[in-house]
A = this chain, B = another copy of it.
Amino acid sequence: MFYNEWILSNDEYDHDRRQSRNALFTIGNGYLGIRGFFEEDEVTLESNGGIYMAGVTGRGTYDAWEGKSGELCNMPNIFRVSLRCGGERVDGFSSISDFKQTLNMQKASYSRQYIWTTSQGSRIEVAFERFAGAADIPKIGQRIIVKALDPVDLSLSALLDSNVTNLNADSFATPRPVQPGRNHFVKRNVKTSSLSVILDDPDSTVLYFAQQATAKVNGNPVAKKDFISDNACGAIYDCSLKAGDILTVEKVIYVASSLDDDVDAAQAVAGFLSGDVGFEQEFRAHCTAWLSAWETANIKIDTDTNDDAALRYNIFELLCVCPRHTDRVGIGARGLTGEMYEGCIFWDNEIFVLPFFQYTNPQVVRKQLTFRYHTLDAARRHAKRNWFEGAMYPWQVNNKGIEQTPYECGAFYAIHIVADIAFAVCRYWEVTGDDEFMVSYGTEILYETARFWRSRCDFSELDGKYHIRAVRGPNEYDVYVNNNAYTNYMAANNLRSVKQVFDNLSGSHPKEIERLMNKLGATRQEIDLFNEIADKIIIPYDEKKGLILEDDTYTQRRSLDLKRAKPTGQRIIDSTMPYEALPLYQVTKQADTVLLCCLYPNDFTQQQKKNVYFYYEPRTAHDSSLSYAPHAILSSQIGLKEEAYGYFEKSAYLDISDRQLNTISGLHFANFGGTWQAVFHGFCGISDDHGKVSIKPSLPDKWNRVTLNCFMYGSVLQITIDKSSVVVHKKKSGPNPLIVRIEGGDYLVGGEPLRVTLGERL
């Protein structure tokens, strides 16, 4: 892999790894995710695209909590190219040299090129480039350039092809293939330059695809022949090239769906086809939009390592998946880059992904939390179905907020997501001060989730405490436990948040709050009860050891020899033990109490954090991509620089090096967010601390300097940290004066950059 500031590229073609590389080179615009598949791929079981559209799912394969599951649909292949050279099919991999695939993160484009030699020895140089429009999201661009190195006859078809199935990537086989999946289109309507399909989903969603294409040889137009079949349409270009001649095909595709907000999709397509669009013009607008996105999002690391580009890749994919255009879809665990988890949304979103947007583009967080608000009724239904009250946000949801976890697979236990969503609401409010959001959406979420906890907590006469039993915390190797510290702590804060909000907003927004109380049947008594419960929720803790206990019985279990349990690096449950055996042992799948310390950096002492780290880390299998980043953050906070950097590396390169051998089934978005957090909260030590910005940097030895931007309390800051100083520059002022706390000192940040030399006060 080759790394450059804005470039990630690969110049070795490895057939066995190509499907996972397809995922790695995904581009997107939050509306569509497009894997880096080969345009020339024939529609076979091994290769049929990999394009996903936010919120578009079809009939799935297993029993979920409300009937059958759904699954993210592989869209029609809008980039399909059939290329023949001298009558021979160019497949893009079997007779190639000088192969190269490149992600340009600045322009958010993906390109691929190679030299092809026919059986007669004639050579052509082929290059593809594509982008998913950031300026105008329904517009997708594709450019194909074929340069003749010898005289050749070419035939090139540029198609929209609906003959695809889901990929069904198999992460567990070697080499990891894709299997034939479902084709989700029950009906197709194919015209000369457009096609539409109807999905087999409950809404009979209609998807529209149209294209405008041009072809030129050395700048001179090439005649087009129309192609049309039952499944596909497009243009065919035939031409004879002399050595040195260049065929350029440029295509803009328009995508629309009946699910789109406030848009008549069919009309939009007609408008597109009758209009005048060009690849170059669209691409320019697209690049401008990305420049603007990078302005706040980019982090520049001065280092001799590849970490600068690797971190940028993590951020890049977060920007690609981000649905800026709507508050009706959430960000799935694998984004729009693969089919694992059926495209569903988990707690990953609130706890791992949203913090990145929180500090770089808060409007995205508002939209994502509004998405959760839209699914509040589904969460209420889920609570009722399980004999609880309020809103029980399900564990794994589609865009309607309906539980998609396979039935009897632990969704009943994994309720910390309810408090995770409340946590994100509170953080958003604290850092942005967006009262309007709270009045319209946030407060109702907090109230209904607090109600859930009220109905889920059990008071015990034995100890006068509230217990939360039969839960599965972030440590999913627990099967179920009683009183998971993470869950209980988060639930207590969820319960407490209601009074905080009401106390705060009743003055400024009395009418809205009263209306809300009426709507919810809320009472001051109930709010007080929330607080009373919160104060009495048991947080398992060993006073003598100063240790947060993961749950009621964790420390009483037998210890596990992790080397024996995980001899090859494969997950424990894939190598030596059945899942059900794990509750016998002290074993943690992924950061649990460690994560809790990361989420509340100011609630725990350094000694408590150290105790947590040194007790649990040796017992943690890291059998999840959600484990590395919290460990990087906490170990950085307690001064374990080497360990922290080790975890950062595992996190930053997770998909780039396909560490968990399952990148084929989609990129790991929680981990991307975690990588960013490891830098922001970990190495740079930045956190919002009750109205102040706290900066406690601890850069890795291999890094000289980090420069980043962030939104904080309404201001936009540029922060530069090197080994000896912190520079804070307020690029945009918020409503209130901004105080930065560095090494115990509080500094007011004004118009001039603030420079603090590190170590001065020590």
Contacts and interface: CB of A to CB of B under 8 A. Distances in A.
Interface of A: 386, 407-413, 458, 460, 462, 467, 469-470, 479-480, 482, 553, 556-558, 578-581, 583-584
Contacts of A386: 581
A155 B186 CA distance: 53
- Candidate in A409, A553, A579 with the most chain B CB atoms within 10 angstroms: A553
A532 to B, nearest CB: 19
A200 to B, nearest CB: 25
B482 A580 contact: no
A410 B558 contact: no
A584 B386 CA distance: 11
A458 B558 contact: yes
- Candidate in A413, A579, A583 with the most chain B CB atoms within 10 angstroms: A583
B469 A580 contact: no
A460 B558 CA distance: 10
Contacts of A580: 408-413, 480
B482 A553 contact: yes
A583 B469 contact: yes
A578 B405 CA distance: 12
- Candidate in A408, A470, A479, A480 with the most chain B CB atoms within 10 angstroms: A470
B482 A581 contact: no
Nearest to A456: B584
Nearest to A583: B470
Nearest to A585: B470
Contacts of A482: 553
Contacts of A558: 458, 469
A551 to B, nearest CB: 12
B412 A556 contact: no
Nearest to A565: B387
| Chain A binding surface, main DSSP class | loop
B412 A470 contact: no
A468 to B, nearest CB: 10
B480 A557 contact: no
B556 A462 contact: yes
A408 B584 contact: no
16 contacts: A407-B578, A408-B579, A409-B580, A412-B578, A412-B580, A412-B581, A458-B556, A462-B556, A469-B553, A469-B556, A469-B558, A470-B581, A470-B584, A479-B479, A479-B480, A480-B583
Contacts of A579: 408
A581 B578 CA distance: 21
A751 B579 CA distance: 61
A411 B413 CA distance: 21
A667 B593 CA distance: 50
A171 B73 CA distance: 35
A250 B408 CA distance: 53
A384 to B, nearest CB: 12
Contacts of A470: 581, 583-584
A413 B412 CA distance: 20
A702 to B, nearest CB: 41
A316 to B, nearest CB: 38
A579 B409 CA distance: 10
Nearest 10 A-B pairs (CB), nearest first?
A470-B584, A470-B583, A412-B580, A412-B581, A408-B578, A458-B558, A408-B579, A408-B580, A412-B578, A469-B584
Contacts of A479: 479-480
Contacts of A584: 469-470
Contacts of A556: 458, 460, 462, 467, 469
A260 B469 CA distance: 53
Nearest to A581: B412
A407 B579 CA distance: 9
Given A469-B553, A479-B480, 12 more contacts: A408-B578, A412-B580, A413-B580, A458-B556, A458-B558, A462-B556, A467-B556, A469-B556, A469-B584, A470-B583, A470-B584, A482-B553
A412 B584 CA distance: 10
A578 B63 CA distance: 12
Nearest to A472: B580
A480 B579 CA distance: 12
A578 to B, nearest CB: 5
- Candidate in A467, A482, A584 with the most chain B CB atoms within 10 angstroms: A584
A340 B411 CA distance: 28
Nearest to A557: B469
A407 B557 CA distance: 23
Nearest to A467: B556
A409 to B, nearest CB: 8
Nearest to A582: B470
A470 B479 CA distance: 10
A648 to B, nearest CB: 34
A96 B354 CA distance: 73
Contacts of A557: 458, 469
A411 B558 CA distance: 19
Nearest to A561: B387
A557 B470 CA distance: 9
A556 B557 CA distance: 20
Contacts of A412: 578, 580-581
Nearest to A407: B578
A409 B411 CA distance: 17
A55 B557 CA distance: 39
A159 to B, nearest CB: 42
A482 B479 CA distance: 13
A579 B556 CA distance: 26
A537 to B, nearest CB: 15
Nearest to A410: B580
A408 B574 CA distance: 12
A411 B580 CA distance: 9
Nearest to A463: B556
A408 B470 CA distance: 19
A435 to B, nearest CB: 37
A596 to B, nearest CB: 23
A82 to B, nearest CB: 42
A578 B382 CA distance: 13
Contacts of A469: 553, 556-558, 583-584
Contacts of A460: 556
A262 to B, nearest CB: 39
A407 to B, nearest CB: 6
Contacts of A409: 580
Contacts of A480: 479, 580, 583
A458 B559 CA distance: 11
Nearest to A468: B584
Contacts of A458: 556-558
Contacts of A411: 580
A578 B413 CA distance: 11
A455 to B, nearest CB: 10
A534 to B, nearest CB: 19
